[in-house]
Chains A and B, each alone.
Chain A
Amino acid sequence: MSIKRGVSLYSYQQAQFFKQMNWKDMIREVHDNLHTDGIEIIDEATIRDYPFPSEQFIFDWNNEMARWGMKAVTMDIYLDVHQFRDHVMTHAEAAERLKNDIKIAARLGFENVRCLCMVPIDVIEMALPTAEKYNVRIGKEIHAPLPIKRRLTTAWVDPFLDYRMAQQIMDLADRTGSKYVGLVPDMGIFQHSPTRVSIAYRKRHTNIPEAVDFVVENRFNYNMDEMLAKIQEKYPGSDLTDPKSMQGLMLRKSSADPEDLREIAPYIVSIHGKFYEMTEIEGQPGHYEDKSIDYVNPIKILKECGYTGYINSEYEGQRDQQDMGYENLPNEVEEIRRHHEMLTRLCAD
């Protein structure tokens, strides 16, 4: 058994937006051209009239998945704490949303739900009996800038992201003995440098584009405060003044260490194959890589750990190009095909 490949339909969000592909087209693309079966969805993007999908939708979904022999791996779910607007959602209400999402996932045949990094651990614990009853695992995402275990980066980290999160989940699983709670690492935690598409976007939306190049080229030489001062010195009047929005350009090191996968491997529910741009590897025609994210080491370690679950492509580079005309929009289908060339090659036994 080797690592399995799948696609989060999130990857085709632009094609869906422009109505070039619907979810059935996406499933066919995965089946016909990627020659694999793993499907992940964003509940609020794919499920018409969430959280009350019609019986017709549920029938259509299960029918289409069965028709092509596809596997409903993970359904990505959310926590909008202002849904009720007159009060902040309580943890009990958040647990109710999670339980309801688990029930929807079960009806659509999903094995797992992916909840967000910032879902409190007590909310997950409250929903655990429902997960067990409906045979759907809850996987909490480990998303950049979170580490897996040890904090690697000294960069700004969102104060509401708790870096002990992976440990809390493993503790809950161990304490309850439940197999229904685990982790969904996002490969974005192994992103070690700014993406070409995000740099280009930033250059199109700043008053002195050269300042962006300066930041990227000199990001190892200065800390954030020094960099902000340096920019104003070299490019007076530059609007690059907000440290939070500079984090991406200043990225020097991934937020997680691939070695830390060893400890969490038994708890991994599925993996998000985040990527931004697939380019041909020099001297290797037909072989592709994302230059900003390390896939080689994490996959090597996952194989050594005996991980045989899914890595589901999660293409996100389109977002940084939608300020341009149609002719400049990236081709999601092609990007994902390239990503699967890489996954197939790296995951092979």
Chain B
Amino acid sequence: MFDQYLIVKNSLKNDIMDGKAVGFQFQVRIADYRGCFLSLHNGYYIEVDGVKYPKSLQTFEINGRPPRTFEEIKTCVWEHFNYDDAGIVHVAKEGGLEPGSHHIGLQQSILAQYGYRGKQDEEWVKNPPEPGTGAGAGKTATICYFDEVLQDA
């Protein structure tokens, strides 16, 4: 659901530190009809112009806090990602993205569930699903594609 609207339009820009582009960022909405405990938020499948950027390169900015890694997010067991809010995904990439349009593939992974699911539950504690596999992808099981023009930082 919200397939075409998960990335907030015109939110793609480079992350600049000390005058240098160190990565890029875009805003995302939640791919569900409800918010979730932040701890359940398990990262993104991200590809830009055919290049994949794994979870280890991603940080997530939400609730007025500085960007956090998904290892930190995992511990936010009482914090909530509200349905109405956009979060900012930051991706580390030396030099950032080139100006112009970029083709982005995205799938959000949120370990939201409707109750117990036997062995899968223990498995997800030990080995959370890799974003992009469809597992833990909530209500939007496909990778969605977006063409976004890099905005001024």
Contacts and interface: CB of A to CB of B under 8 A. Distances in A.
A119 interface: yes
Contacts of B112: 78, 80
B115 A45 contact: no
- Most A-side CB within 10 Å, residue of B37, B77, B117: B37
A281 interface: no
A116 B115 CA distance: 7
Interface in B102-131: 111-118, 121-122, 124-125
A48 B125 CA distance: 28
Contact of A82 (B34, B124, B142): B124
Contacts of A87: 125
A10 B1 CA distance: 14
A296 interface: no
A82 B84 contact: no
Contact of A120 (B3, B111, B116): B116
Interface residues of A, number: 41
Nearest to A91: B116
B80 A117 contact: no
Given A82-B124, A322-B5, A88 B116 contact: yes
Nearest to A87: B125
B82 interface: yes
B12 interface: no
Nearest to B73: A85
B80 A49 contact: yes
B116 A160 contact: yes
B139 A319 contact: yes
B114 A116 contact: yes
B114 A79 contact: yes
Interface stretch (A11-19, A31-39, A128-136, A303-311): A11-19
A85 B113 contact: no
Contacts of A80: 36-37, 40, 111-113
Interface bracket on B: 35 or more
Interface in A312-326: 318-319, 322-325
Contacts of A160: 115-118
Nearest to A83: B37
B4 A325 contact: yes
B80 A19 contact: no
B74 interface: yes
A110 to B, nearest CB: 16
Nearest to A88: B121
A144 B56 CA distance: 38
Given A16-B83, A118-B115, A325-B4, A42 B33 contact: yes
A86 B12 CA distance: 33
Interface in A82-108: 82-88
A44 interface: yes
A44 B39 contact: no
Given A42-B33, A44-B35, A81 B115 contact: yes
A42 B34 contact: yes
Given A83-B39, A83-B40, A160-B115, A322 B2 contact: yes
Given A17-B29, A83-B40, A323-B3, 19 more contacts: A17-B83, A43-B34, A44-B34, A45-B33, A49-B80, A51-B78, A52-B78, A78-B114, A81-B117, A81-B121, A82-B121, A83-B39, A85-B40, A88-B121, A117-B114, A118-B114, A118-B116, A119-B115, A205-B142
Interface of B: 1-5, 29, 33-37, 39-40, 74-75, 77-78, 80, 82-84, 111-118, 121-122, 124-125, 139, 142, 144
25 contacts: A17-B83, A19-B84, A45-B35, A48-B82, A49-B82, A50-B82, A51-B80, A80-B111, A80-B112, A80-B113, A81-B113, A81-B116, A81-B121, A82-B40, A82-B124, A85-B39, A88-B116, A116-B114, A118-B114, A118-B116, A160-B118, A319-B1, A319-B139, A322-B4, A322-B5
Q: When A and B form their complex, which 9 residue pairs have the shortest distance between CB atoms, in order from nearest?
A: A118-B115, A44-B34, A323-B3, A319-B1, A13-B33, A88-B121, A82-B111, A45-B34, A44-B35
